[in-house]
């Protein structure tokens, strides 16, 4: 068990957008945020991204999974080793790994989730305890295993001295929201947090850009801004059964693949514009689940840099929309910082998820700890 005093911890995140690895250093006691430290980013090379993309949806033992795991481990070892030179006082590491498949409802058998990346290996490379496999315990106990950042979002709201309910929106490959009421004493209290995946966000846009134009993403939303939204398609998209489910709820990266095939007949610009509008419309649909009207939505992740997406959000949402930078936070590194925070919570025996964030029956402290030999 980790001492109760604040410590420096590293966190790393490789999301469903498959762009690369974010790494960040955080000073925390697992309850409060004391300080934000240095950050680094390591992009995946084209061949590395292709190796991971080839096994999306795959489960352990499938062909290509071992090769993808090696890519993930190598990239994380490189960026975390480099970050340790800038934050040598870090005492432990939070390692999310790369999600390949996520089936918390057991549609393909028993409920399960699959993140590649070996925490034992990273512990030896970094010579630090590594907290990893954050999602499995939650899924095994009946939870969605996602989203996992809400308790950190609550700490961010406290750090920013917010006094009204707000929403943190992360726009990665999949969109997810956390409704936070900072007036509550802690994130595990009923009413403090409500979290769920909103729907597809950057993933289908990125996949279409890669398939049609050989580009990894729609930089700045420029192509979407040049296109026309097929509003009839957006309406059909919102009829997907996922939107009828009550939260907490979560998605696999490819859950909406068939629902989005209808843009194939559209021009490049119109297709990207329509997928962008779908991402924003999914967020707007999620507002019906919030217990009260939020004062604002603060956006993190790559999607906040997409002007077309931010414009669609502002048009469709009933409250102000702003990047998390308006709070003094780093929208590129929020999830990496979250896993540093969660690592400290795990090491201290504190819960990392609960009924209102993942739907698990009781508070759960997910993750396992790997220590380097000799420690």
121-158 pLDDT, tens per residue? 999 999 999 999 999 999 999 999 999 999 999 999 99
For 7-145+333-370, which CATH superfamily applies? ATPase, nucleotide binding domain (3.30.420.40)
Entry pTM: 0.94
3, 39, 118, 359 from 345: Cα distances, Å: 11, 20, 20, 19
Q: Is it true that 7-145+333-370 and 161-327 share their CATH fold?
A: yes
Q: How many CB atoms lie within 10 A of CB 245?
A: 12
The average confidence (pLDDT) of the chain is: 95
Which ranges of the chain does DSSP label H, i.e. alpha helix?
46-53, 65-86, 119-126, 136-140, 150-159, 202-213, 222-226, 231-237, 268-286, 307-316, 334-347
Architecture of domain 161-327: 2-Layer Sandwich (3.30)
Structure-token pair, residue 333: 């590194």
Judge whether 37 and 8 are in contact, CB under 8 Å: yes
Q: How far apart are CA 219 and CA 307, in angstroms?
A: 9
pLDDT at 95: 98
Dihedral (Cα; 8, 368, 80, 49), 10-degree rounding: -140
pLDDT at 227: 98
Q: How far does the chain reach from its first CA to its final CA, in angstroms?
A: 14
pLDDT at 375: 65
pLDDT at 374: 74
76, 116, 179, 191, 339 from 290: Cα distances, Å: 36, 33, 7, 10, 25
DSSP 8-state assignment for residue 327 = G
* H helices, E strands: number in the chain: 11, 12
Query: Residue 76 burial (CB < 10 Å; 0-12/13-18/19+)?
Result: buried
Q: Where in the chain are the domains?
A: 7-145+333-370, 161-327
pLDDT in tens for each of the 375 residues of the chain?
A: 566 799 999 999 998 888 999 999 999 999 999 999 999 999 999 999 999 999 999 999 999 999 999 999 999 999 999 999 999 999 999 999 999 999 998 887 889 999 999 999 999 999 999 999 999 999 999 999 999 999 999 999 999 999 999 999 999 989 999 999 999 999 999 999 999 999 999 999 999 999 999 999 999 999 999 999 999 999 999 999 999 999 989 888 888 888 788 899 999 999 999 999 999 999 999 999 999 999 999 999 999 999 999 999 999 999 999 999 999 999 999 999 999 999 999 999 999 999 999 999 999 998 999 999 976
């Amino acid at each position: 068990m980790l001492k109760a005093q604040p410590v420096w911890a590293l966190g790393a995140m490789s999301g469903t957008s498959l762009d690369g690895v974010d790494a960040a250093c955080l000073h925390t006691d697992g309850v409060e945020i004391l300080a934000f430290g240095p950050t680094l980013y390591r992009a995946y090379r084209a061949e590395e991204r292709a190796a991971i993309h080839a096994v999306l949806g795959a489960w352990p033992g499938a062909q290509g999974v071992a090769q993808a795991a090696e890519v993930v481990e190598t990239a994380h070892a490189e960026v975390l080793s480099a970050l340790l030179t800038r934050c040598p006082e870090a005492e432990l590491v939070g390692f999310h790994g790369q999600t390949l498949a996520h089936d918390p409802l057991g549609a393909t058998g028993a409920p399960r989730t699959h993140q590649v990346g070996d925490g034992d290996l990273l512990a030896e490379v970094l010579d630090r305890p590594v907290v990893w496999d954050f999602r499995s315990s939650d899924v095994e106990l009946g939870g969605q295993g996602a989203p996992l950042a809400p308790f950190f979002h609550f700490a961010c709201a406290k750090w920013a001295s917010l006094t009204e309910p707000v929403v943190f929106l992360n726009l990665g490959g999949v969109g997810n929201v956390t409704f936070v009421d900072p007036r509550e004493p802690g994130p595990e209290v009923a009413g403090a947090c409500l979290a769920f995946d909103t729907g597809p966000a950057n993933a289908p846009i990125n996949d279409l850009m890669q398939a049609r134009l050989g580009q990894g993403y729609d930089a700045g939303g420029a192509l979407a801004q040049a296109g026309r939204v097929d509003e009839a398609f957006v309406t059909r998209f919102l009829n997907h059964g996922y939107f009828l489910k009550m939260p907490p709820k979560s998605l696999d990266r490819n859950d909406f693949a068939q629902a989005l095939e209808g843009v194939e007949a559209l021009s490049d610009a119109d297709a990207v514009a329509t997928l962008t509008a779908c991402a924003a419309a999914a967020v707007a649909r999620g507002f019906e689940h919030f217990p009260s009207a939020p004062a604002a939505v603060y956006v993190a992740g790559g999607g906040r840099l997409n002007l077309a997406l931010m414009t669609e959000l502002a048009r469709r949402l009933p409250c102000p929309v702003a990047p998390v930078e308006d709070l003094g936070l780093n929208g590129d590194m929020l999830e990496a910082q979250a896993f540093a925070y969660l690592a400290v919570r795990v090491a201290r025996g504190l819960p990392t998820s609960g009924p209102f964030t993942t739907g698990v029956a009781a508070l759960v402290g997910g993750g396992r700890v790997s220590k380097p030999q000799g420690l």
